[in-house]
Amino acid sequence: MRPWRDTHSEAAQALEPASQPFRASSRQGISAILLLVRKFFLPLIVLFGAIACFLSLPSAAQGFPSRQVTAQVSQQLPEPGQSGKPQQPQTPSAAAHPSATAQSAQPALSLPMIVLDPAHGGTDTGARGENGLAEKDVVLQIARTLQAQLLTHGYHVVMTRTDDSNPSYDDRADIANAYRNAIFITIHVGSTGKMGTVRAYYDQFWSLTQAMPSSSQSPASPAKSGAIADLPANTLISWQQAQRPYVDASHRLADILQLEFAQSFPSSPVTSTAVPLRDLRSVAGPAVAIEISNISATSADALLELSGSLSVAIERTVQNFRQAGVPEAP
């Protein structure tokens, strides 16, 4: 008979093979549970951590703007011993261009092109005085002086001639018609009128039903001025009718200019005059003629001295004329 201990060992050895599958299945179950935790719960943990970090960012970022505002306010405050209001921070563009603020304060309306037309030229001397002055020379000098003065005040100015030449009326008009919204001013010196007076004229178109004045009648006679005929919209306008759509604008320009002349040149009339002027007939835009009195001056300097007041009158006229708008070329 075997001892009891040996009998118990044999029984345990007999049961051990049966318990091995259970242990193996238990280990597999634990491994499956751990795999499940790692597969599903670990991403959730990472996701929750990321959400917590994201939610914490705004609270940390809120401090930066306040520090920037504080820094800006401290820069605007005057230093000890200084008085005055804090200055607003200046943008880089304004700091680089100090004139930007001044330009922005000016009206947005742009300055027009002023076309100065010294009348006559070449073999066409115009009016002649007993002192030997020729109109073509005096108006050229006046136009040069006006151009220089207007350019210094920021205006755009061109001249139809700069020497002793005589461009055709159409060539002079071509220069003005090359610019949009240009203002055309032709300059004459008359042989009559009180010395130092200036007159403004605009072109006069006779109506289609109106007879043209005879050669014995004055072209500026009020009895023959007449109303301008309205043309149908589809009517073709010849080159010598280009001024017709702009007569009203030219009339208004001449009236403003004449009022300025009346203030600057005593004894000058207060209203402009309508006369048939070939100088203006082909200009497609506001166009006027000015006539300075007179060619019988003792010297050219006596007439050139009027250039300063002429320049001021032209500038004021352009400013007032532009306030109501300038009709654009069709």
- Better-scored residue on pLDDT, 52 or 138: 138
First-last CA distance in the chain:
136
pLDDT at position 60 over 80:
no
What pTM was estimated for this model as a whole? 0.61
pLDDT confidence band for 102 (50 / 70 / 90): very low
CA distances for 154 relative to 76, 99, 111, 180, 292, angstroms: 35, 14, 8, 18, 25
| In the predicted structure, residue 243 carries a pLDDT above the cut 80 | yes
pLDDT of residue 140: 98
pLDDT in tens, 114-128: 999 999 999 999 999
**Residue 257: its pLDDT value, please?**
98
Residues β-bridged to residue 293: 190
- pLDDT of 42 above 80: no
Contact 72, 278 (CB under 8 A): no
Instruction: Compute the residue count for the chain.
Output: 330
pLDDT for 325: 63
Residue of higher predicted confidence among 35 and 66: 35
Sort 266 into a burial class: Cβ within 10 Å, 0-12 / 13-18 / 19+: exposed
> Higher confidence at residue 21 or residue 30?
30
pLDDT of 111: 79
Q: Is the CATH code 3.40.50.300 the one for domain 116-207+237-323?
A: no
Q: Stretch 48-58: mean pLDDT, rounded?
A: 59
Chain position carrying tokens 């030219």? 250
pLDDT at residue 84 greater than cutoff 90? no
Task: For the beta carbon of residue 210, count every other beta carbon within 10 angstroms.
Answer: 14
Q: Are 187 and 290 in contact (CB under 8 A)?
A: yes
Long-range contacts: 268-271, Cβ < 8 Å, 24+?
268/197, 268/198, 268/199, 269/199
* Reported confidence tier of residue 69, pLDDT bands at 50, 70, 90: very low
* E strand map for 103-215: 113-118, 156-159, 183-190, 198-203
- Of 45-49, 197-201, 295-299, 308-312, give the lowest mean pLDDT range: 45-49
pLDDT of residue 275: 96
**What's the pLDDT at 82?**
41
Dihedral angle over CA of 8, 12, 13, 18, nearest 10: 150
**Where is pLDDT greater, at 71 or 156?**
156
pLDDT given at position 227:
36
